[in-house]
Amino acid sequence: MDINPEHPFTVEFQPSGLRLILDEPITLLDAARQAGLMMRADCGGKGICGKCKIQLLSDLGDHPVTNSDKSHFDQNSIDTGFRLACETVVRNNIKVYIPQDSIISSQVLQVDGRLHKMEVEPPTRRIAVSLKSPDLEDLRPDLVRIKDDLNQSDLTADLGVLRRIPHILRQYHWKAELVIRDQKILSAGQPTGNRFVGMAVDVGSTKLACYLMDLESGELLAARGTPNPQIAYGEDIMARIAYALQSEENAKRLQTILFDAINQTSQALVREAGFETTQIADVCLVGNTAMHHLFLNLPVESLAASPFVPAFSEAIYPSTDDLGLKAMPGSGVYTPPVIAGFVGSDHLAFLLSEGFGNDQRTRLGIDIGTNTEIAMQKGAEIVSVSTASGPAFEGAHIRFGMRAAPGAIEHVTLDNNGKAKTQVIGNQTPIGICGSGILDAIAEMRRIGLLNSRGRMVKEFPGILFDGEGKPYIQLSQGSQPVTLSQKDVDQILLAKGAIRAGIDVLMDHLDVKSNEIEEVVIAGAFGTFMLPEHAMRIGMLPQLDLDKVYAVGNAAGTGARMMLISKSARLKAENLARQIRYLELTVYPEFPMFYARGIQA
Ligand code: FES
């Protein structure tokens, strides 16, 4: 960007004190991004979500109030400088305050999952060789010596490794440690006997769950979750796709910031476990199809509009170098198959980890997110659907909605007068409510009769309050900034749970399964872990079942990625499972509208 010397101006962000010098007008959201501040922008900067709230600390008069500002702030807030960052264009020196809840905060990043006992058979192996040195009677080239020693005549290596092998062999008296995948020598080095490691990553649209594994023992050495930095470019996958479609540079940026975050996390993990990143010999990445395309920097046009088809669905193994991942030179990144435009390798990893396809039981697997993927197995058949449940369970479009982070109400009970008792993450003053809390609140409102079966708040019920426009709401906490839940918030959740229930009903209808025939329901993801199944049944999100048939399995996609990292058979099984899973498009299923209309009832 050419700097115009006549008009550079400075944006100062508080409370961080960061300053950014600009030469042309841009929105405050873009300015914050350029300054490296990870602001929330759940709607991707469209002025809809209201999450990019900032306060202008100077020059209020220069910043007109937009209609979106008016819809998110009352007059008093506007007068004191509150605006939406995505709607506010800066042209002059300015000081801006970014409230804590507008910054992407540390969420409860669930990395736990249950890993069933399995045989470790890493696709990438470390092999020590001790070779006979050449003499006038034995003139075999170095590589042939290795092939003969390992009895593997088809071994190959890239030029860089071929250059290195002669030095290593001579320096270490014809001994070396080789890292081999299939028929390829990935690296050659000093014989150390050190363990070598791999990284499995579940690339979620809101979080990255990273696992460092010992590739020889299969032991989990360290794990960590971190927010997906792409959130700054839109909470919603479609907003990120739209951003990537604007230019190749944007698409590359989404890929780069993602791998920067993975590199930072993997560096922290290897340090914690006493390794170096150069000892990471193999990587497995899973994600939904949009994430898969964005991390591989594939064209995303085909995911932007119906009929939403992936560019390809097969497993591939690009090099870590190609993707910008810090790891052992020559190492690769296994990316398992995706199933359809909205059913990715994370869903496959979930089903793999839970043994779908291993037996003939009638089972339901649900991974709740902005898009909820649901699979039903009956006998040898496995059918998957994706339903647009929206981000309401992650707090978007809910007035006090937030992700599961300190200060979020995670559980709610109501007494018969509608008075709330809450449990707050971090035991602190509540500042918002996360998905499990909202689900509890609605189930409780139903139980005491405060919400009728059509999902309407009963206005005469004790505990109901009314806003300035006469719209009903309930109050969940006390204090100057109480957390409330309005009829509008309830409507958002009913739409979300209706989409999930309609997906389940379509699968049951399609496979002719009655609810009492379902032998098991496994629910993946953080929301599934915190939600109470009885409440999910009370509001009709799940069919009525024995409670002991329903269990949460944590981050099952991460578990599946770990399995594929350490086991060749798990990769083979995943690739076979991908062929076995049949994708069903809900929007063309004739009964879907009827199931959906029924699903959104309370
Ligand atoms: S309202 Fe600004 S990003 Fe959504």
Give yes or no for residue 117 having a pLDDT over 80: no
Confidence of residue 105 (pLDDT cuts 50, 70, 90): low
Give yes or no for residue 374 having a pLDDT over 70: yes
Q: Which atom of ligand 1 is nearest to the CA of 84?
A: 2
Q: What percent of the chain has pLDDT over 70?
A: 95
54 CA → ligand 1 middle, Å: 11
Q: Which two structure tokens, joined as six digits, stand for 567?
A: 């086991």
Q: Is 401 helix (H, G, I), strand (E, B) or coil?
A: strand
pLDDT for 180 equals 92
Per the prediction, the chain carries an average pLDDT of 89
Q: What share of the chain is helix, strand, coil (3-state, %, to 5)?
A: 35, 25, 40
The predicted model gives 422-443 an average pLDDT of 88
**How many Cβ atoms from other residues are within 10 Å of residue 330's Cβ?**
22
Q: Which atom of ligand 1 is nearest to the CA of 40?
A: 3
Give the DSSP letter of residue 65.
P
35 CA → ligand 1 middle, Å: 18
Note the Cα 212 to chain centre separation in Å: 18
Q: Is 593 helix (H, G, I), strand (E, B) or coil?
A: helix
29 CA → ligand 1 middle, Å: 8
**How many Cβ atoms from other residues are within 10 Å of residue 418's Cβ?**
20
Pocket test for ligand 1, best of 30, 83, 86, 88 (most atoms within 8 A of CB): 86
The predicted model gives 235-259 an average pLDDT of 92
Q: Which atom of ligand 1 is nearest to the CA of 44?
A: 3
Output the CA torsion sign for 318, 322, 325, 329.
positive
Determine if ligand 1 sits within 6 Å of the CB of residue 86.
Answer: yes
More confident residue, 194 or 266: 266
Q: Which atom of ligand 1 is nearest to the CA of 48?
A: 1
- Each residue of 564-602: pLDDT tens digit? 999 999 999 999 999 999 999 999 999 999 999 999 987
68 CA → ligand 1 middle, Å: 9
Determine if ligand 1 sits within 6 Å of the CB of residue 394.
Answer: no
Determine if ligand 1 sits within 6 Å of the CB of residue 50.
Answer: yes
More confident residue, 57 or 301: 301
The predicted model gives 126-153 an average pLDDT of 95
441 CA → ligand 1 middle, Å: 26
Can you tell me the distance from the alpha carbon of 400 to that of 443, in angstroms, rounded to the nearest whole number? 18
Determine if ligand 1 sits within 6 Å of the CB of residue 40.
Answer: no
Give yes or no for residue 1 having a pLDDT over 50: no
Give yes or no for residue 4 having a pLDDT over 80: no
Determine if ligand 1 sits within 6 Å of the CB of residue 49.
Answer: yes
Determine if ligand 1 sits within 6 Å of the CB of residue 357.
Answer: no
The predicted model gives 212-235 an average pLDDT of 87
559 CA → ligand 1 middle, Å: 34
pTM of the model: 0.78
Determine if ligand 1 sits within 6 Å of the CB of residue 168.
Answer: no
Determine if ligand 1 sits within 6 Å of the CB of residue 239.
Answer: no
- Each residue of 452-481: pLDDT tens digit? 989 999 999 988 999 888 999 999 998 777
Can you tell me the distance from the alpha carbon of 575 to that of 306, in angstroms, rounded to the nearest whole number? 26
Determine if ligand 1 sits within 6 Å of the CB of residue 84.
Answer: yes
The predicted model gives 283-294 an average pLDDT of 97
414, 420 in Cβ contact below 8 A? Answer: yes
Pocket test for ligand 1, best of 28, 33, 52 (most atoms within 8 A of CB): 52
CB neighbour list of residue 561: distance below 8 Å, 6 or more residues apart: 200, 201, 202, 211, 284, 285, 286, 349
Give the DSSP letter of residue 496.
H
Note the Cα 149 to chain centre separation in Å: 45
- Each residue of 333-354: pLDDT tens digit? 999 999 999 999 999 999 999 9
Q: CA triplet 589, 591, 593: central angle to 5 degrees?
A: 95
Determine if ligand 1 sits within 6 Å of the CB of residue 42.
Answer: yes
pLDDT for 445 equals 95
Tell me which range, 10-24, 164-178, 545-559, is most confidently predicted by mean pLDDT: 164-178
The predicted model gives 400-418 an average pLDDT of 86
Determine if ligand 1 sits within 6 Å of the CB of residue 54.
Answer: no
Note the Cα 61 to chain centre separation in Å: 40
234 CA → ligand 1 middle, Å: 9
276, 270 in Cβ contact below 8 A? Answer: yes
- Across 182-312, the runs of DSSP E, i.e. the strands, are 184-189, 197-203, 207-214, 220-227, 280-287
The mean-pLDDT minimum among 363-377, 496-510, 525-539 falls in 525-539
Give yes or no for residue 299 having a pLDDT over 90: yes
Q: Is 343 helix (H, G, I), strand (E, B) or coil?
A: strand
Give yes or no for residue 104 having a pLDDT over 80: no
341 CA → ligand 1 middle, Å: 26
The mean-pLDDT minimum among 65-79, 374-388, 395-409 falls in 395-409
Helix (H) or strand (E) holding 442: helix 435-448
Determine if ligand 1 sits within 6 Å of the CB of residue 414.
Answer: no
Output the CA torsion sign for 457, 460, 464, 467.
positive
Determine if ligand 1 sits within 6 Å of the CB of residue 376.
Answer: no
Q: Which atom of ligand 1 is nearest to the CA of 47?
A: 1
Query: Tokens 């250059």, residue?
Result: 163
Report the nearest-CA residue for atom 1 of ligand 1. 47
Give the DSSP letter of residue 549.
G
Determine if ligand 1 sits within 6 Å of the CB of residue 53.
Answer: no
More confident residue, 45 or 296: 296
Give yes or no for residue 528 having a pLDDT over 90: no
